[in-house]
Amino acid sequence: MTIADAPPVVAAAADAAVRWHPGGSFRLDQTMFPLMRGNADPSFAAHTSGFWMAFTTPSGPVTLRLSGGGLGVDSFVDAQAWGPGAEDAVAGVPRLLGAEDDWSSFDEPAFHATLPRLVTEARRRNLALRLPSTGRVVDSLVPTILEQKVTTLEARRGYRYLMYRFGTPAPGKAPAGLLVPPTARQWLSVPSWEWHKAGVGPQRSATVMRALQSAVALERLAELDPAKAGAKLQTIPGIGIWTAAEVVQRTHGCPDSISVGDYHLAAYVGYALTGQKTDDAGMIELLEPWRGQRQRLVRMLYLSGFRKPTFGPRMTVQDHRGH
């Protein structure tokens, strides 16, 4: 996996640019999908020109455009960045796109032989998937907290409202309406009535405020391994195993963390692997033979196209027990 200078025509259009060679097949859409909070996430834009995202780096805000991918060893991704954080953003592109996500142990023949056929077939069709790693804890933590104990629809509607009220326009050449998420300081300045207007109850807003009091320490968690980072997150009141898992999946590209407490996941895994519904304890037991690779296995189950049976009206509420 190597990084090369971007072609002059690309580099000339941006404050910073790079061409990254993943060293094998690469799917940009599959890799970026977990980072988007729905199709209407104000900090993301998926166009024919590529994936656009806005965020804050240690040097300031940035707009990042990613395009490319492909099959085989000649695949590449072009990255262009605008704004004060442009250099930081392009330096972080390999990690963001899963350069550190090594599937070799998952694909090792002896391990592969232990996997359900549903998983091996999905992996065969999806060799270009990488688990992304943003390294930005605050940006992942806040919208995850907003998803505690409410429907996904409610959470994303509230997040969009707060983004439109407190986000800032993305710098440089950016699609219309693209916004940089609030910084920790900006989140801390959100008044109580705005949380209320966003449909965010006092328990969740208080958890956000409590967590961001130590924003500098939070961002340092990106330097730890996923297990230690998740454990540190859970020392903050209001943050439990579900929230921590959802965060490190995005910030660390964690190959093992699973969202225990999710309303749908345990039943889905149970039906996929045994044909029967199960609970969190049953899911953990089912996945135990593949500890260390459990998140990869779950991603393959989702990509397999398997759908669990539905009985009666469809429920959309997510439980997220223990937050």
pLDDT at site 257: 96
- In this predicted structure, the answer to whether residue 5 has a pLDDT above a threshold of 50 is no
Q: How far apart are CA 209 and CA 321, in angstroms?
A: 20
pLDDT at site 194: 98
- In this predicted structure, the answer to whether residue 321 has a pLDDT above a threshold of 80 is no
pLDDT at site 241: 96
Tokens of 157: 């509607």
- In this predicted structure, the answer to whether residue 317 has a pLDDT above a threshold of 70 is no
What's the pTM value of the predicted model, to 2 decimals? Answer: 0.91
Phi–psi pair at 201, nearest 5 degrees: -70, 165
Phi–psi pair at 306, nearest 5 degrees: -65, 135
Read off the pLDDT of each residue in 216-224 and give the average, rounded to a whole number.
Answer: 96
Tell me, which fold does domain 137-251 have in CATH?
A: Endonuclease III; domain 1 (1.10.340)
Q: How far apart are CA 49 and CA 29, in angstroms?
A: 12
pLDDT at site 311: 64
Give all strands of the β-sheet with 50-57 in edge-to-edge order: 2-4, 16-21, 76-82, 60-69, 50-57, 44-47
CB 208 within 8 A of CB 183: no
pLDDT at site 319: 43
pLDDT in tens, 75-121: 999 999 999 999 999 999 999 999 999 999 999 999 999 999 999 99
CB 38 within 8 A of CB 153: no
Q: How far apart are CA 182 and CA 171, in angstroms?
A: 14
Give the percent of the chain with pLDDT over 70: 92
- In this predicted structure, the answer to whether residue 274 has a pLDDT above a threshold of 50 is yes
pLDDT-derived band at 154 (thresholds 50, 70, 90) equals: very high
CB 129 within 8 A of CB 30: yes
> Which residue type sits at 254?
C
pLDDT-derived band at 201 (thresholds 50, 70, 90) equals: very high
CB 95 within 8 A of CB 278: no
Q: How far apart are CA 42 and CA 53, in angstroms?
A: 9
Q: Could you tell me which residues come within 8 angstroms of residue 110 by beta carbon, excluding any fewer than 6 positions away?
A: none
- In this predicted structure, the answer to whether residue 134 has a pLDDT above a threshold of 60 is yes
- In this predicted structure, the answer to whether residue 301 has a pLDDT above a threshold of 80 is yes
Element at 62 (helix H, strand E): strand 60-69
Exposure class string for 161-200: b at 16+ Cβ within 10 A, else e? bbbeebbeebbbebeeebbbbbbbebbeebeeeebeebbb
Domain ranges of the chain: 2-102, 137-251
pLDDT at site 2: 44
CB 180 within 8 A of CB 45: no
Domains 2-102 and 137-251 share a fold: no
Q: Could you tell me which residues come within 8 angstroms of residue 102 by beta carbon, excluding any fewer than 6 positions away?
A: none
- In this predicted structure, the answer to whether residue 4 has a pLDDT above a threshold of 60 is no
Architecture of domain 2-102: 2-Layer Sandwich (3.30)
